[in-house]
Amino acid sequence: MSNYKENGSRAYLYGICAVAVIGGLLFGYDTAVISGAEQALQFFFVSGLGDYYTTSIHGFVVSSALIGCIIGGLISGVMATKLGRRNSLILASVFFFLSALGSFMPEFLFRPGFEFFQPGEATKGLMWAFILYRVLGGVGVGMASAICPMYIAEVSPAHLRGRLVSFNQFAIIFGQLTVYFINFLIRSGLADTPELIQAAMVDIGWRRMFVSEAFPAAAFGLLLLLVPKTPRYLVMAGNTNKALDVLTRINGEKRAREILSEIKETMIEKREKLFSYGVLVIVVGVLLSFFQQAVGINVVLYYAPRIFQNMGSSGDSAMIQTVVMGVVNILFTILAILTVDRWGRKILLIIGSIGMFIGMTALSILSFSDVIGVAALVFIIIYTASFMMSWGPICWVLISEIFPNTIRSKAVAVAVAAQWISNYAVSSTFPSLCEWSIGGTYLIYAGFAALSALFVLKMVPETKGKTLEEMSALWRSKMKKR
């Protein structure tokens, strides 16, 4: 007990962060589950809607969850302030759960005479019901994407914050890898021949992929009941005794009292407006979000099997290559976790931007040259590995820590909403851009990768080792210099 009072409990800290990052896992799971289902979903709706279901409409259906992500990102600040970080995540888990069930059987409550577990035929009404449920899940993703890193950042000591927030990105990638593997198992277990598998995917396969998310969503909601609210939210709510107890369990009594004093000093001005520290801090947060998406990463994640098939792979081989890509993503996310608090944020972002530029430029050249095969796979892996050891985790680290305490929930909401708007713009336009020029599309993403390196070099401050309370002084000083 005395050791816990003196030094805090690392096991306690890791335990509550482990629960919080399940939100990241669901974030990755929900956004990537569509990759295995999207082609079967297209065949399903084309079978009932014919020429009405165009490529553009399919792009909208595939990306529809991102509308919910934008909404979830926008309301995350209000939810985090009113309900608290933990309770907002519980609400997000409910949205994940309902979305998984509804996407599995969008006919439910939307078709007269509906018999449970009896799939209906594709209609416009069914398409809109599916979109509604995907949007609902997107609201959960948008909330979790903002609040999970915020929760982890607010409970973590400064010297561990970068690493622990980066675990959220690890969970996102692990969620994507998990769903890639589950999608592969669902697909391969449907039938024995490629023709029968394709038919079964259109009939029931895509539905099983979506409902598989219900299980981790339910577990997330239940486990959140076991973790505390964050000390900074507890201080905002006037519960300083509980805040001190949580801080003591994490940091030890002496350091907890110092942190509590710092939190109180910055929370005195808790009603500050969004631009109280100038426009620059908000612009930097928004541009971090914009560039993370403008480099085209979610095009690769959402459409991975289709991209590999366009390179000449069969359906099963494309799914296996997607799983391989997921493993590479995990390994390079671990690299970021191990180096972010040692090397700093800026150097990792710049290295990642250079790697993404090389990968996308090479893919563009190969596409213009009509070269497919192993070379294309290698450069896709170079591109995604570069993203995963840099912009994937580090963008979330910076968004969670770069804003001053008094505007954090509002500023994070703006930055996350900007991220999802950018994500939607990039992902929904990809099918149409590919009809124009696949090589040209990759070249656009390569250009944004180059611009992202310049942005980090010129505008992003290094935050390694700084406490969340020091962010106020950092941006105050920058505002005075302008």
Query: What are the structure tokens assigned to 259, written together?
Result: 């942190």
Tokens 């390179």, residue located: 311
Q: Where are the beta strands (DSSP E) in 314-441?
A: none
Judge whether residue 352 has pLDDT over 90: yes
Q: Which of 271-280, 282-291, 369-378, 465-474 has the highest mean pLDDT?
A: 282-291
Q: CA-based Rg of the chain, rounded to a whole angstrom? A: 22
| Mean pLDDT taken over the chain | 82
User: Over the stretch 78-96, which tens digit does the pLDDT of each residue have?
Assistant: 888 888 889 999 999 999 9
Closest CA to 172 of 198, 204, 139, 149: 149
Max distance between CA atoms of the chain, in angstroms, equals: 72
Query: What are the structure tokens assigned to 167, written together?
Result: 């675990």
**Residue 232, pLDDT score:** 83
The angle subtended at Cα 208 by Cα 100 and Cα 313, nearest 5°, is 120
**Residue 406, pLDDT score:** 74
The DSSP symbol for 201 reads: I
User: Over the stretch 229-282, which tens digit does the pLDDT of each residue have?
Assistant: 888 888 888 888 998 898 888 888 888 888 888 777 766 545 567 776 778 889
Least confident of 37-51, 81-95, 191-205, 283-297: 191-205
Amino acid at 423: N
Judge whether residue 110 has pLDDT over 60: no
Amino acid at 318: A
Least confident of 101-110, 311-320, 351-360, 421-430: 311-320
Least confident of 23-32, 413-422, 458-467: 458-467
The DSSP symbol for 192 reads: S
Tokens 């959220």, residue located: 168
- Which has the higher per-residue pLDDT, 346 or 472? 346
Q: How far apart are CA 12 and CA 248, in angstroms?
A: 11
Q: How far apart are CA 433 and CA 286, in angstroms?
A: 25
Query: What are the structure tokens assigned to 461, written together?
Result: 């401050």
Query: How far is C-alpha 315 from the geometric centre of its chain's CA atoms?
Result: 26
Exposure string (b/e) for 147-178, b if CB count within 10 Å is 16 or more?
bbbbbbbbbbbbebbbbbbbbbbbbbbbbbbb
Torsion on CA atoms 121, 122, 127, 130, rounded to nearest 10: 40
Average pLDDT over every residue of 164-175: 83
Question: What stretches of 50-192 show up as alpha helix (H) in DSSP?
Answer: 55-63, 65-82, 85-104, 124-155, 158-188
Secondary-structure class of domain 7-227+269-481 per CATH: mainly alpha
- Which has the higher per-residue pLDDT, 317 or 389? 389
The torsion region of residue 10 among left (phi > 0), alpha (psi -120 to 50) and beta comes to alpha
Query: What are the structure tokens assigned to 236, written together?
Result: 């905002």
Q: Is the pTM of this model over 0.85?
A: no
> How many alpha carbons fall within 13 Å on the CB side of residue 24?
26
Average pLDDT over every residue of 281-304: 82
Tokens 């541009």, residue located: 287
Query: How far is C-alpha 192 from the geometric centre of its chain's CA atoms?
Result: 35
Least confident of 178-187, 281-290, 403-412: 403-412
Judge whether residue 205 has pLDDT over 80: yes
User: Over the stretch 38-56, which tens digit does the pLDDT of each residue have?
Assistant: 888 888 888 888 888 888 7
Closest CA to 92 of 135, 130, 133, 141: 141
Least confident of 48-52, 57-61, 362-366, 433-437: 433-437
pLDDT confidence bin for 116, thresholds 50/70/90: very low
For residues 432 and 60, the answer to whether their CB atoms sit within 8 Å is no
User: Over the stretch 12-22, which tens digit does the pLDDT of each residue have?
Assistant: 899 999 999 99
**Residue 224, pLDDT score:** 95
For residues 355 and 345, the answer to whether their CB atoms sit within 8 Å is no
**Residue 183, pLDDT score:** 87
Q: How far apart are CA 435 and CA 431, in angstroms?
A: 7
- Which has the higher per-residue pLDDT, 333 or 447? 447
